[in-house]
Structures are given as C-alpha cells and as structure tokens.
Structure 1
C-alpha cells in the first residue's frame, strides 16, 4: 500500500510547477484592465450601458501557470433582442478589438472576438446581464452564475486541488469540452473537487465508476433522483451525468466521451497504485527508430484532405471525425478490418485520418454470408445472384446458412478509399474533395519527421501506449 507521504510529495512537486506566480497574476490583471478600458470607451461612445466582467478559470483562481487566457464577458441589457446582441453588441466588441490590436472573429452560439496582447489571448464574449439563473437566454448568461457558485464553494486549498486535477486531465489528453477532445471541462473539474473535496478522494471514487455514472452535485437527494431521470431522457448518449448546480436540467459533463471517461478511470487506478510525475508531465521524447520498428507487418493508411476555407475549430474537428467514421464503415463494408482510427487537423491547411487495418491488400476471394435455409425468397435470390456472378458456391454450411466465395471488387484498401471517396467525404466543407492516401512507411515517416503537430500526433498514434500506463504494472 502506498503511503500518503508519497502522494503528498508528488502532488507538492506538481503544484510547485503549475501554480501561477504573482508576476503572472499581475500581467493578466493589467491585460484585463487594458481590455476593459477600451471596451468601456466604445460602450460610452455608443451610449450603451453594459458590464465588462472577468469569468472563467482566472476569475475562479483555478488557472495554471502558463495558461495566459482571459474570458471577458460583456453583459448587455436584458431588454435587448437576440438580434441586438448578435449585431449591435458584437460590433461594439469588434470595434474595441480593433483598438486593442491583433484580433480574430470566432464562432460559438453567437459570434465573439478573440484578441491578442503579447502572449495573452482574451475572448470578448457578448451576453445578457440577468439577475437570476431562471432568466438565462443564452449559454453565455449562465457563466457569471458559474463564477459565483464556484467562488462560494472553493477555498484556497481546494483551488490547488483543482489545479492538480486539471494538470492530470491535460496530460491524459482529456481536458476540454470541445469536439476535438470530448473531455472534462474546467467547470466539471471544479465541480468534481467541490463534490469530493480533493484530487485523491476523487480518484478513489473514480476507480469504481462504470458508465453511466451519476454524480449528485445538488443538496437535495430527492431532487437529484428526479433530475437523474430527466437528464437521462435529455442526454441519452451521455456516459457521465453531473447536474449543473446553476441549471440542474443541464448535464455539465455532456461532452465527456466514453473513451475520455475510460482513460480517466484507468489512469486513476494506476496513479493510486504507483504515484509518479509521469501522470502530470509527459516529457517522453519520441524515438524515431522505435516508431519505425513498430511499423513491421502493420497496415497504416493516412488520408490527407485540404482545408479550403477558414472555419471555426469545432466545425473542422466535427466534420473530419464524421468523415473518419464514415470511412471506417466503407472499409468494414468491403471486408477490411479496422483495428484503429483517429483524426487530426492543424485547423488551417490540412486534416488527416489515420486507419490501421488487418491487411492493406486482400487477394483471396471474399466470403459472403447469406440467409439461413428457412428464409424462402431470400434463399432463392442469394442462389440466383451468386450463380449469375460465377461465384464459388453457393453452398449450405454446417449452421444451415447459405454462403459463397466471390472475387473482391476492391483488393486494395488504398484504392477503395480513393475510388469510393464520394461515399465517406460527405460533410459540407469536405464534400467533393479528392483525398491523398499515404501508406505509412519508413520513408514517409522520415519525410514528415519534425513537422510539428502532424509528426507528433502520428508518432503517438502509431505507438499508442501512453507512458503513464507502464506505471500500472511496475
């Protein structure tokens, strides 16, 4: 059994590296005041009364050192229409952004503006100033109530526990509610620490989780039982249910995928078994030779698609995931066994899908399984079709089922993905594009080695086993 001293030692080392220093606080406060001044000037010029507020992890004081992000919510009068908010409110923020410096327009439920001040990134988001969570009109309006709730529940010690949890989730690759990650949001991390009191207590609970997981974040047990049923109906695909205390009919953990939940549960068990810094800091350097050696007798195909226009990241990731899923179905329907697939995009120029198959080429005839003997008309149709196509068979197997062997239409998975691209490249911003299909070989890896994001993602996808998993058996 691991002593508490060992856990304490590791977690103190982690906290020393991730807790922001006073100069970082000062830098972000100055940036916020600079932004606030410009926004308030534009509001005054337009004779509009609105409140410029700071939200998110900086306002909750659960942010990590080096995360130079600010969430600036500008709350407009509640009697404005949605159109006023989208047009008039957004244009006020856009004008302020132009005066601040470098900026870009982003999209969520409503458009917002991202501004850059040195290495600080700040999102200027329009919303309504509402006095009660019952008056919420947009998703943005809920955020100030989140800030009030979190700050009323967390003390300084718990805030540090949130930081440790966030770093754990980040290192596992499951931090963030966006489509790219489908993981745990910062708010969910805060709710989990509020519920369980500490990082370690949460991990002990998580070792027993099996989906669907329900976590009571409400004070009333009877109310929670009622909410559970309603959340299940509203979010039937969810694997983790955490009622938002600010808006109990909303599942705060709706974004968490089964894969993200599973990674968290297994990593929790492994950390409690063998606490180590590797669970928080992935400082593993990828050895090219090890990656190349792991290619032996494997079929890895990389589908490359260009990005023709600038799009919000959630749109790109959502569409490339759909293309990847449909591509996997095309391969499976043509008798290629898909062992693994994943996607990646630089969000600017290119998107990629990696497939690992049992074989890249299959020269042998394909086995077609037909109906069982008692399915009268279907049996006759199967016999007629396969005799007409000069198949080997049909015959009736030991299970009373008609089967046949026939020459494959596609012997090469690479050719299949090219010739039937119309069948899987169907999303609005990729439809009609011709993919490039790369066979991942030693030569291909040498060509892209060191090319930033694509190189790192591809190497990790080929090796696949995370470093922390080795601690499970030591």
Structure 2
C-alpha cells in the first residue's frame, strides 16, 4: 500500500516510515492495546492519548495556539537536539490548566521540579514514588495514560526558561507576532550584540538520521560555547538554528572587554603538603590565596577571535560537522 509513495524506513526505538511530499508524513505502527501496561513502546499509547484529548472537548484551538506559540518561540519538539515541549505535553498542559493563556500564566508560577498531575495519581508525593531518572527535568508532567511516566522528561532548563520569557512577554503585550516563525537574521543579531562581539558560524551537517545529525550540531555549538567560557570570555548569548534541510547557523555574543594577559591559577589546599610541593616545583612564583597555593599563568587567548578561529580546526569538532566556517557579521 505504501510502496507507490516511496517511503523511507527510519530506525528508532520503534521503526517507522517517513514519506516526504508537499506535506511530510510519519507512519508509525503501534499495537492495538487497551491498557498502558500492555505497551511495548511508548508509541503504543498514542491512540490512548488521542482518546484522552477527545474526552476533553473544546480545546482544539487552544492546543493549536499553544503549539504554534512554542514553534515561534523555538521551544517546540522533544528531540534530543531541541529538548523542548512535545505536542503530547502541550495537549496535557492546555487541558489541565483550561486553556492557552491559563497555561502561560501558570508557567510563570512553576517552581523547580513542579509536579503537574492532571489525573491526580499522586498525593503530593510524586517525587518520592517516581524513579529518580524520570525527574531530572525542570517540570514533571505525569502522563494521564501512564502514571509512572514523566511526559516532560525531555524538557531542558534552557528551553523552559525561554518559554517562560516568551510567555511573560506575550501576557504583558499580546500580539499575533508571537505566533510567527521567524528565522534569525544578521541584522537582528547585530542589534542584540550592540557593542559586544558577534561571531556567526555556518556549519554543514554530517549525513545521517535527523535526530543524530541534530544532536551532533547541538554538541558542536556547545563545544565552542564551553571553550569560550573555559577561557574566561563572557558569553552573553550562544544559540543556533537549523531548518533540518541545509546548513546550520551558530552565533555567539561575547563581552567586548579584552582579557588580561595573565590569570590566577589556583593549586591544591595547603594541608595537602606533597601536592603543594609539587605545585611549587612546577611553578617558579607562587603565593597563598584563601588557603590554597596559587600562581599566575599566561592566557592562551586574550581575544575571542583567535579562539574561534583555532577551534574550527579542532578534530573533535570536525567529528560533529562536515564543514564549518566563520561568516562576516
């Protein structure tokens, strides 16, 4: 039946078919089950989730608003390279709070490790009963179909904070602009950077499955950001954008101040006498600071330009991307 459509078999926790046309389709086989405990894979519960949503009529438009808002805010998708809100989670949140705006208002009040339990499976003790591996996300959304599952496990702190910032801005000044998906432009990045230094990089992804390729791109961006921080540069913004088709764009906004040519290098605490002696043998000039032996060492970089240029030749970075280059700002 699918053969004329030339489907692509995609391997995952449950293999599925991808059909690319004017509209792209994913056809995922699932088991016909009546209870969550019969599920072999989480996708087997999808029809049950659809039925749960249908059992709460009247939220269709509110859910669509929530999903479009998250797409425009760049926090939509539970893929490993996005770490945002899945459609499944947004269905649950909108229904639980009674609408799109109600969900945004609630989000501004969420505490760290906020537990959202629409079916009231737990009596304020979810964190004690759930496996610790299920509660690493900033919010915990108990899946209405399976109480042992945190439906929001993929959400990162970074994406939650971005969502909350977008929610706060929208509630303060509602606008249709909040639902428009806009690609990042050089002009906008220049505006954001102001007097700080702006670095824009273009990365050509390696070939492979979308999720794997995306994860490698994310790690490449994080590697550059972390190196800038390691060398004491103030990274005010580090982010990236990828349309899943062509090249990705990384950008970094770094404080404009040039670093001093030397920096303090802390050594072992004074009570560790042998390590202190070793430290003093290694470094000619040392001093005591807050109970530790210290020295001053020459910085490898005092300007971020040199670091960014050098990192493009890093072998570890080139394992994550096919090609990468600096674009003029």
TM-score class normalised by the smaller sequence? 0.7 to 0.9
CA 236–378 in structure 1, closer or farther in 2 if over 3 Å, else same: farther
CA 111–355 in structure 1, closer or farther in 2 if over 3 Å, else same: same
**Structure 1 equivalent of residue 67 of structure 2:** 166
Instruction: Tell me whether 337-346 or 144-153 shows the greater mean CA deviation.
Output: 337-346
Q: Report how far residue 287 of structure 1 moved.
A: 7.9
Deviations 1:105-151 (A, max 9, x none): 3333233222245x222212222222332211122211111112111
Equivalent of 1:201, from 83, 89, 102? 102
**Aligned residues: CA RMSD:** 3.2
**Structure 2 equivalent of residue 132 of structure 1:** 35
Preserved contact between residue 72 and residue 182 of structure 2 (Cα < 8 Å): no
Preserved contact between residue 135 and residue 153 of structure 2 (Cα < 8 Å): no
Preserved contact between residue 177 and residue 185 of structure 1 (Cα < 8 Å): yes
CA 112–338 in structure 1, closer or farther in 2 if over 3 Å, else same: same
CA 431–380 in structure 1, closer or farther in 2 if over 3 Å, else same: same
For 1:443-454, list aligned pairs within 5 A.
444-445=328-329
Instruction: Measure, in 2, the Cα distance between the counterparts of 1:304 and 1:283.
Output: 18
- SS in structure 2 of the partner of residue 250 of structure 1: strand
Residue 383 (structure 1) aligned with residue 286 (structure 2) = no
Q: Report how far residue 347 of structure 1 moved.
A: 3.9
Equivalent of 1:417, from 291, 299, 311? 311
**Structure 1 residue ranges without an equivalent (≥5):** 1-37, 39-95, 388-392, 446-474
Preserved contact between residue 414 and residue 437 of structure 1 (Cα < 8 Å): no
Residue 148 (structure 1) aligned with residue 51 (structure 2) = yes
Instruction: Tell me whether 124-133 or 370-379 shows the greater mean CA deviation.
Output: 370-379
**Structure 1 equivalent of residue 218 of structure 2:** 321
**Structure 2 residue ranges without an equivalent (≥5):** none
Instruction: Measure, in 2, the Cα distance between the counterparts of 1:374 and 1:432.
Output: 43
Preserved contact between residue 418 and residue 434 of structure 1 (Cα < 8 Å): no
CA 295–159 in structure 1, closer or farther in 2 if over 3 Å, else same: closer
Q: Report how far residue 294 of structure 1 moved.
A: 5.8
Residue 404 (structure 1) aligned with residue 295 (structure 2) = yes
Instruction: Measure, in 1, the Cα distance between the counterparts of 2:320 and 2:148.
Output: 41
**Structure 1 equivalent of residue 87 of structure 2:** 186
**Structure 2 equivalent of residue 253 of structure 1:** 152
Deviations 1:288-321 (A, max 9, x none): 4x65466564333445544342x12111121222
Preserved contact between residue 242 and residue 253 of structure 1 (Cα < 8 Å): yes
Equivalent of 2:78, from 172, 177, 182? 177
Instruction: Measure, in 1, the Cα distance between the counterparts of 2:11 and 2:269.
Output: 53
Equivalent of 2:133, from 214, 228, 234? 234
Which structure shows the bigger proportion of residues in helix conformation? 1
Instruction: Measure, in 1, the Cα distance between the counterparts of 2:186 and 2:240.
Output: 22
Instruction: Tell me whether 329-338 or 277-286 shows the greater mean CA deviation.
Output: 277-286
For 1:17-96, list aligned pairs within 5 A.
38=1, 96=2
Give the alignment's TM-score, normalised by structure 2: 0.84
CA 307–276 in structure 1, closer or farther in 2 if over 3 Å, else same: closer
Give the alignment's TM-score, normalised by structure 1: 0.60
Instruction: Measure, in 2, the Cα distance between the counterparts of 1:99 and 1:316.
Output: 28
Instruction: Measure, in 2, the Cα distance between the counterparts of 1:179 and 1:212.
Output: 20
CA 165–328 in structure 1, closer or farther in 2 if over 3 Å, else same: closer
- SS in structure 2 of the partner of residue 218 of structure 1: coil
Preserved contact between residue 324 and residue 342 of structure 1 (Cα < 8 Å): yes
CA 304–199 in structure 1, closer or farther in 2 if over 3 Å, else same: closer
Instruction: Measure, in 2, the Cα distance between the counterparts of 1:317 and 1:295.
Output: 26
Instruction: Measure, in 2, the Cα distance between the counterparts of 1:182 and 1:261.
Output: 9
